[in-house]
């Protein structure tokens, strides 16, 4: 599963690169918006910088948006399963 998570983080990171570089020509995208996975007991937090974004449920492989409290999944906002979700899906659904 770690390979899938690493691939997803890289894809998510790259999905936002073009828009960022068009808007902010003098800033470094890699330094500003790193994507990281933080392992917790039931979930793996998929974070953008120090901000929570998604939770990957270890037992099922489902990815959810978070509620306003860090580490709490919003079960109404299922993004999809780790096997089918792409980095572009995460970038597109980040702020809805």
pLDDT tens per residue, range 1-21:
899 999 999 999 999 898 899
Mean pLDDT of the chain: 91
Residue 34 in domain: yes
Q: What integer pLDDT is reported at residue 96 of this predicted model?
A: 55
CA end-to-end span of the chain: 27
Structurally, the chain folds into a number of domains equal to: 1
Q: What integer pLDDT is reported at residue 2 of this predicted model?
A: 92
Tell me the average pLDDT across 15-39.
89
The token pair that represents 11 in the structure block: 């894809």
Q: What integer pLDDT is reported at residue 28 of this predicted model?
A: 87
Residue span of the structural domain in which 75 resides: 2-87
């Amino acid at each position: 599963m770690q390979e899938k998570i690493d691939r997803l983080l890289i894809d998510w990171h790259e999905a936002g690169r073009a828009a960022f570089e068009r808007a902010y020509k003098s800033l470094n995208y890699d330094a500003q918006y790193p994507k990281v996975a933080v392992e917790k007991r039931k979930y793996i937090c998929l974070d953008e910088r120090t901000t929570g974004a998604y939770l990957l449920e270890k037992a099922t492989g489902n990815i959810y948006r978070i509620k306003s409290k860090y580490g709490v999944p919003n079960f109404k906002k299922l993004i999809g399963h780790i096997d089918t979700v792409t980095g572009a899906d995460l970038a597109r659904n980040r702020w809805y």
